[in-house]
């Protein structure tokens, strides 16, 4: 299953890395397919609950919602 998330607040490569790392640490994530600051989104593969993905991103200081 793929989950696409809209993310606000990413402005640099460090932001992208922080979001990738946070998402990769969520139980059920098989792969972080893409995180794009230009599009303001992330695409994740796996069985992780969207709420847990959003919690991981907001924990890093960014806003997120299911796209």
Residue-wise pLDDT for 8-49, tens only, equals 999 999 999 999 999 999 999 999 999 999 999 999 999 999
pLDDT at site 48 = 97
pLDDT at site 25 = 98
CATH architecture type of domain 2-66: 2-Layer Sandwich (3.30)
Give 47: exposed, middle or buried? Use CB within 10 Å, 0-12, 13-18, 19+: exposed
**What is the model's pTM?**
0.95
Contact 31, 46 (CB under 8 A): yes
Q: Which long-range contacts (CB under 8 A, 24 or more apart) does 57-60 make?
A: 57/5, 57/7, 57/19, 57/22, 57/23, 59/22, 60/18, 60/19, 60/22
Residue-wise pLDDT for 39-58, tens only, equals 999 999 999 999 999 999 99
């Amino acid at each position: 299953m793929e989950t696409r998330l809209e993310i606000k607040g990413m402005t640099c490569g460090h932001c992208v890395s922080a979001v990738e790392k946070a998402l990769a640490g969520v139980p059920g994530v098989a792969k972080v397919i893409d995180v794009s600051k230009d599009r303001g989104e992330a695409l994740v593969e796996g069985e992780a609950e969207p709420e847990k993905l959003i919690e991981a991103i907001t924990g890093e200081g960014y806003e997120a919602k299911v796209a």
